[in-house]
Structure formats: C-alpha cells, structure tokens
Amino acid sequence: MFARAFTLLRRNLAIVVPGLVVALVLSLVLLALEPTDPLDDDLSRRILRLVAHVIASIVSIAFTTGMAAQAWETGRATIADGARAFRRDGGHVFVAMLALFLIGIVAATLAAFTFGLSIVVYAFFCIYTMAAAVAGERPGLVAVGESVDIAFHRPLPTLGLVFGIAVIAFGIGALASAIEVAPIVGPLIADVVIQLVIAYAALVVVGEYRLLRGTGVSV
C-alpha cells in the first residue's frame, strides 16, 4: 500500500496544491487578524482565528482526501475532483472533525493515567474517519463509527498503517524542522515537504480504507 501510494503521489503531485494554498491563505488571514497591540487581542479576534482554522482544515481535508480517492479510483486526480469532494462532503468532514476533537480531549485527558496508551488507541480506531467521510461519503458520526468498525475487525493492517504513518511523520517532521531554519527559502521548502507528507498519508489511508472496505484499489 505504501509503495502504491508513493507511485500515485508521484503521478498526481497536484494533490499537494490545495494544502499549500490553504496554508498560505490561512497565514494571511491570521496575519490580518493579529492585533498591533497584544492587549487588544479581544474575544472576537480569537473566535475569528478559530473559525479560520476550522474552515482551513475542512477545505484542506476535503480537497486532499477527495483527490486521493480519485487517484485510487482512476489513477489521476485534479483540483476539480477536490472541489467536488468539498462541495459534497464538507459537512461530513466538519461533523467528523468535531467528533474527533471531543474524543481526542478524552484521550488526552486519560493519557497521563494510561502512559499515553489512550492516544495510541485513539489514533488506531479513528484513523479511517476522514477517508470514510470523503471517499466513503459517510456522514460525520457514521464515518467515525465505520473507522472504529474497520479497525476492530482488521487490527493487524490497521496497526501497521498507524505505525508506518507515525514513523514517516516523525522522520519527515524532523527533516522539515531542520530545513525550516535555512534563511529565506527554508520555511517555504519545509511547508512543501510537510504537505507532501500529508498528501502521501491521505493516499495511504484512503487506499487502505478502500481495500479493507472491499471496494478494491487500482493504480
């Protein structure tokens, strides 16, 4: 799955574009909302920044996951495929995000008492949620439930998926941090590297989701 996903990413680098554009727009919006005086950072500005983050996440997830699903379906993905997924499944993504946020709070609260095991369990059972919401077109809460169901019935491939993505994210994250300190172009290159990893992870998860759901994959 990891090798096939890499091939699809190499053929469909456009999957990276929505994340880069969203990150740029979000940075500009946050900059505009930044008060000139820290003492003027009132509640309304904080709410607007939160809303901006939520909207950016919905757009990025829907576009990237939708394009990943199309890449597995036909071998090719375009920005139009991402836009179609956003229009169709943006609401599903929002509800799924809200559910994952609330579950994540519980997992984080229990982390100190479970030596971090609750975070691992959270990642294990929720990893297919966005793939289910977009590629599977499931409503938000149904997407969470389907992710739990798949992980429960297919624990070994799911565990391998979580472990593989965690290793890649850690390694590339360290690389991006090292690149970011380079003057002028460092942060830009680091952002591109991070978005490449996000796009690759989306392809891997969507591919595994389709496979475990029994819909098959094609390259």
* Tens-digit pLDDT profile for residues 88-114: 999 999 999 999 999 999 999 999 999
Instruction: Judge whether 156 lies within some domain.
Output: yes
The SS3 of residue 139 is coil
pLDDT of amino acid 212: 87
pLDDT beyond 80 at 183: no
Q: How far is CA 148 from CA 18, 24, 97, in A?
A: 28, 33, 15
Instruction: Judge whether 93 lies within some domain.
Output: yes
Instruction: Judge whether 35 lies within some domain.
Output: yes
Instruction: Judge whether 178 lies within some domain.
Output: yes
**CA neighbours within 13 Å on the CB side: how many for 13?**
3
Residue 19 token pair: 């994340």
pLDDT of amino acid 81: 96
**pTM of the full structure:** 0.87
Instruction: Judge whether 48 lies within some domain.
Output: yes
Q: How many domains does the chain have?
A: 1
- Please measure the distance between the N-terminal and C-terminal CA atoms of the chain and give it in whole angstroms: 11
List CB contacts of 79: < 8 A, sequence separation 6 or more: 14, 17, 18, 63, 67
Instruction: Judge whether 218 lies within some domain.
Output: no
pLDDT of amino acid 127: 96
- For residues 125 and 148, the answer to whether their CB atoms sit within 8 Å is yes
What tens digit of pLDDT does each residue of 147-170 get? 999 999 999 999 999 999 999 888
Angle at 60 between CA 159 and CA 125, to 5 degrees: 20
Flag the least confident range among 69-78, 80-89, 159-168, 178-187: 178-187
26 is in which domain, residue-wise?
Answer: 2-212
pLDDT beyond 70 at 216: no
pLDDT of amino acid 214: 65
